Structure 1
Amino acid sequence: MKPDRTTDDDIEDLLRRHAPQVLGALVRRYGHFDPAEDSVQEALIAAAGQWPGDGIPDNPRGWLIRVASRRLTDRLRSDEARR
């Protein structure tokens, strides 16, 4: 994590810039657009809550992809279990 001070605007700009890339990575990897989009939104919310206090990770796009991937995997497993 970077120890420097970041503003909410810095984080918001970063999230806006990376969101389409993260969504593209998840859709390419998993092939489910709607659940991937929901998972990316959840990752963005998690980042917006965590990064102001903890700082922006060294690889914010990688962080978002990892969190969104985990959320999507959980969602797909849950959907499968319900069926």
Structure 2
Amino acid sequence: MQIFTCPFCGPREETEFHFAAEAGKHRPEPAEEISDADWADYLYLNDAPKGAAREVWVHATCGEFFVMTRDTVTREITNVTALPGRDG
């Protein structure tokens, strides 16, 4: 089992965490002008890069969201930071 580090609670088992989104993915605006197909692409299509990836994760125990940089091949975590505006 892999250990992830929550910037609020510290190291925990990976089962306490859930992937939320790709970091830096911008919501299409204005919402009322976006087609259903474009919304579906935004919600369900991810780049899923091989190698380094910046992702938003949520720690289910405390409910806090944070950004994790990890290698999707080696599973090495290189950085974990609170989202801007948080005191992680």
TM-score normalised per structure 2: 0.27
Query: Which structure carries more helix by proportion?
Result: 1
Which is higher, the Rg of structure 1 or of structure 2? 2
Higher relative contact order (CA 8 A, sep 6+): 1
